[in-house]
Structure 1
Amino acid sequence: MATEYGQGYGWDDGPGFRGEGAGERWHRLPAALRAPIEGRSLREFAYLMLSLPISIATFVFAVTTMSLGAGLLVTFLGVPVLAAGLAGCRGLGALERARARGLLGLDVAAPEPLRRRKQGAMGWMGATLKSGASWRHLLYTVLHFPWAVFAFCVALTLWVTGWTLLTYPVWFWLFPMSGGQDGLQLYGDETHQVYLDNPFEITVTALVGLLLTLATPWIVRALTLVDRLLVAGLLGPSKLATRVVELESDRGVVVDTAAADLRRIERDLHDGAQARLVNLAMDLGLAKEKLAEDPQEAARMVGEAHGEVKTALQELRDLARGIHPAVLTDRGLDAALSSVASRCAVPVQVEVDLPARPAPAIEGIAYFTVSELLQNISKHARATRATVDVWRIEDRLLLQVVDDGVGGADASAGSGL
């Protein structure tokens, strides 16, 4: 099996194929010389050769079912015929995606499934007729047919002509006579004939064949580029459907994050400020009882209660800062990250290089991300120093947190990564 060149598509050499040394020597050849006999070129050529008979069959099926369905629309029979035709086009589209994946290395996801509002045959027919993906598959069968005819003719003509001219010296040596004359006849009438029969003409013919043979794989590749665009654009999911899937995924992440934040706030209130306020109420109740019989003890207890109030207020401030820090809103990301770094257990150097403030949502994401990372450094890294860098490239905000700790995070070991 020939080794791939250019952009690889995932075909690997298995046991029994070319050895490592031969493969290295093969790769040393320029791509232009390897192209005519490499596996990728042969697969692309095979794709174009198969496209003609397949496109004829799909075109005939699509035109027949759509014409029959349209003609029967005056009766109820037209609706199921149209739905069956569109469903057949979707099935043929699945075969085309598989063929593109196998011969072109183009992996196109299946389109969005039918959205049935009702069960049964009526629901299926309605969903099929309303599906944009079904009509895109029909459009593919119609557009692909003329393109397949053109690409088939161009690819086959160039491939056969190139190899024929390139190997003409061999044919001339094996069969030196053509119609009683030396060489291949290029032109002939009653008064004039032209033959390729001298060494110069044979050499020029072979050189022309060599140029065509070397150029044909790249022309075939350009032709298959149109097929790639047709398959990816018409047989895959629409941009709107892809965007809907992304939004649904993002919505799930946001909901999970919001639920986790609510649980964290509830836990912090229960274990922190709420517990301290309960203790404060009990201490003040005891101080009230001691006020008449032991004023000094009551004053001491009130003083301790005052300290508990300050601690509870600080915990509430920290909790509010965790929800959305005021310093982030007032002074921006640089000051907010510096405030987080000052509370870290290890020295942290913060470098923020932003020409302008990002959107508030982006600032919040960056702030909480850095906060969580620095908290992990304080708890687990056993580091002596850390750095936080934030910068912007075009429309992307990038951040990097580095420490000199022991590391050891493993995404497969249930570490929360």
Structure 2
Amino acid sequence: MATEYAPHTRDQWDPSGRPPSKHLLPPALRAPVEGRTWREFGYLMLSLPISVLLFVFAITMTSLGMGLLITFCGVPVLAAGLAGCRGFGAMERARARGLLKLDVADPPPLRIKAGGGPMAWIGAVLKSGTSWRHLLYAVLHMPWAVFAFTVALTLWSYGWAALTYPLWQWVFPAFTDADGIQLYGDATRHVYLDQPVELAATSAFGLVLVLVTPWLMRGLVMVDKVMVTGLLGPSRLATRVSELESDRGVVVDTAAADLRRIERDLHDGAQARLVALAMDLGLAKEKLTQDPEAAARMVDEAHGEVKIALQELRDLARGIHPAVLTDRGLDAALSAVASRCTVPVQVEVDLPARPAPAIEGIAYFTVSELLQNVSKHAQATRATVEVWQTADRLMLQVGDDGRGGADTTAGSGLAGLAERLDAVDGILVVDSPVGGPTTVTAELPWRG
């Protein structure tokens, strides 16, 4: 769904009804004890043994499979290795979701021909780009995991050890011949951290490490996130294909709904009126010789029905595609829509040229539907419509001073509008706090 919300329109209360907690400490001071920091530290610690196991498995199976390719045995061995890497990838995605809160979609499943048997499965594994990306992850992640593990563990342990050094410094004189941690020593001189000033300096150094380490770990984890997303998730091409398939379904459903609406309007409106008109004219024809005056009245009534039928047909044609939009563009078309709104509407259109006809039509119907919402639901006293171009995007913004509370919950008109915009790579942004005002911004590709 291509719908976004402004920050202050999000729910400001947790499910229990309590307001969100306010932290007394700034992020830099509370980072070392936050749950996120400990989860990331745990992720980096687990990465080393898992990556070593995955690396050994991947290299062993790949080398064995490549070496056996001179016989047919190498093909299933290589396929089994790739399938094992995919299994490890599923585990890594689950670990990233649990510890890093990184929601990575599963890659598309293997496309195995029905009834193909084991050979079809082997062929699907070997031809899948996802399988080879999982193998690449297994090879690349191990050296990175070693580096990240070493850096995180060293900084984390040294930081907390130095910070708490005054609490456990007594261990040295109690159980060893040293007075503290030895900084320097030779045959004639030894330097220990045992004086109050030295203890304080060590603790201060540890505090700096403790405060800095969480942010360094977040930088290390960002690399892991990129690797998991880029190598273990669906490829950009697969994601784009999935989006296009979904958008195609939306377009087909929308077109079918529009055709049903047009059929219903024709059947219940103009068609029914024209049938009644034909019957009235038939009666008038029969009465023409017997009662000319009654026939004249019936013809006069039929004339009025013809005008109403013509107006309904004009409205229906405007609903399909308004002629003023084709002839004069968005400025004139939106001004005509605004004139039919129940509240005063100020329209500002600042476009250097006309966009593609399809985008222009979507923009027109988007503003038209939003203004209908203003008329029906907003209880506003005024509204505004602004249209402008930013880079290669067409921006629309409709605002009103009504009661607010608009949302895109399932079944609402805004939800359907968001789906239509999503079908052409558009975005709908709803900012409508309870009490108003409401601002709805739509973003469309220019495609001039």
TM-score, normalised on structure 2? Answer: 0.77
Deviations 1:73-93 (A, max 9, x none): 222222222222111111111
Which residue pairs with 1:33 in the alignment? 29
C-alpha contact 2:130 2:232 (8 A) present in aligned 1: yes
Instruction: Find the residue that maps to 1:176 and give its secondary structure.
Output: helix
CA 1:317–1:183 in 2, change beyond 3 Å: closer, same or farther? closer
CA 1:386–1:362 in 2, change beyond 3 Å: closer, same or farther? farther
Instruction: Find the residue that maps to 1:175 and give its secondary structure.
Output: helix
Give, in whole Å, the separation in 2 of the partners of 1:221 and 1:408.
Answer: 37
CA 1:279–1:196 in 2, change beyond 3 Å: closer, same or farther? same
Which residue pairs with 1:153 in the alignment? 150
Instruction: Find the residue that maps to 2:170 and give its secondary structure.
Output: helix
One-letter identity of the residue aligned with 2:181: L
Give the counterpart of 1:237 among 211, 234, 239: 234
CA 1:294–1:160 in 2, change beyond 3 Å: closer, same or farther? closer
Deviations 1:56-105 (A, max 9, x none): 10111111111112222222222222222111111111111121222222
Give, in whole Å, the separation in 2 of the partners of 1:101 and 1:408.
Answer: 33
RMSD: 3.3
CA 1:401–1:167 in 2, change beyond 3 Å: closer, same or farther? closer
C-alpha contact 2:334 2:347 (8 A) present in aligned 1: no
Percentage identity across aligned positions? Answer: 68
Give the counterpart of 2:103 among 101, 107, 117: 107
One-letter identity of the residue aligned with 2:238: A
Shift of 1:293: 5.1
Give, in whole Å, the separation in 1 of the partners of 2:271 and 2:263.
Answer: 10
Which residue pairs with 1:54 in the alignment? 50
Instruction: Find the residue that maps to 1:397 and give its secondary structure.
Output: strand
C-alpha contact 1:370 1:401 (8 A) present in aligned 2: no
One-letter identity of the residue aligned with 1:350: Q
Which residue pairs with 1:9 in the alignment? none
Deviations 1:295-326 (A, max 9, x none): 55555544444443333322222211111001
Give, in whole Å, the separation in 2 of the partners of 1:192 and 1:118.
Answer: 82
| 1:336 pairs with 2:343 | no
- Unmatched 5+ stretches in structure 1: 1-12
Which deviates further from its counterpart, 395-404 or 222-231?
395-404
Instruction: Find the residue that maps to 1:117 and give its secondary structure.
Output: coil
CA 1:197–1:76 in 2, change beyond 3 Å: closer, same or farther? closer
Which deviates further from its counterpart, 69-78 or 51-60?
69-78
| 1:65 pairs with 2:58 | no
C-alpha contact 2:385 2:397 (8 A) present in aligned 1: yes
Instruction: Find the residue that maps to 1:101 and give its secondary structure.
Output: helix
Shift of 1:267: 1.5
CA 1:70–1:351 in 2, change beyond 3 Å: closer, same or farther? same
CA 1:309–1:50 in 2, change beyond 3 Å: closer, same or farther? same
Which residue pairs with 2:72 in the alignment? 76
Give the counterpart of 1:118 among 105, 114, 122: 114
C-alpha contact 1:177 1:183 (8 A) present in aligned 2: no
Deviations 1:325-356 (A, max 9, x none): 01112222232233233344x34323224334
Give the counterpart of 2:396 among 395, 398, 413: 398
Give, in whole Å, the separation in 1 of the partners of 2:93 and 2:362.
Answer: 39
One-letter identity of the residue aligned with 1:148: A
Give, in whole Å, the separation in 2 of the partners of 1:197 and 1:179.
Answer: 14
Which deviates further from its counterpart, 141-150 or 231-240?
231-240
Instruction: Find the residue that maps to 1:116 and give its secondary structure.
Output: coil
Which residue pairs with 2:217 in the alignment? 220
Which deviates further from its counterpart, 224-233 or 113-122?
113-122
One-letter identity of the residue aligned with 1:63: I
C-alpha contact 2:350 2:389 (8 A) present in aligned 1: no
Between the two proteins, the alignment pairs up a number of residues equal to 393
CA 1:186–1:178 in 2, change beyond 3 Å: closer, same or farther? farther
CA 1:149–1:399 in 2, change beyond 3 Å: closer, same or farther? same
Give, in whole Å, the separation in 2 of the partners of 1:388 and 1:183.
Answer: 73
- Unmatched 5+ stretches in structure 2: 1-13, 416-448
Point out the structure with max Rg over C-alpha. Answer: 1
Equivalent residues in 2 for 1:79-98, closer than 5 Å: 79-98=75-94
Which has the bigger relative contact order, CA under 8 A and spacing at least 6?
A: 2
C-alpha contact 1:178 1:185 (8 A) present in aligned 2: no
Which deviates further from its counterpart, 353-362 or 43-52?
353-362
One-letter identity of the residue aligned with 1:323: I
Give the counterpart of 2:385 among 372, 389, 401: 389
Which residue pairs with 1:5 in the alignment? none
Give, in whole Å, the separation in 2 of the partners of 1:220 and 1:211.
Answer: 14
Give, in whole Å, the separation in 2 of the partners of 1:294 and 1:34.
Answer: 96
One-letter identity of the residue aligned with 2:94: A
Which residue pairs with 1:367 in the alignment? 364
Shift of 1:410: 8.4
C-alpha contact 2:370 2:398 (8 A) present in aligned 1: no
Which residue pairs with 1:321 in the alignment? 318
CA 1:384–1:137 in 2, change beyond 3 Å: closer, same or farther? closer
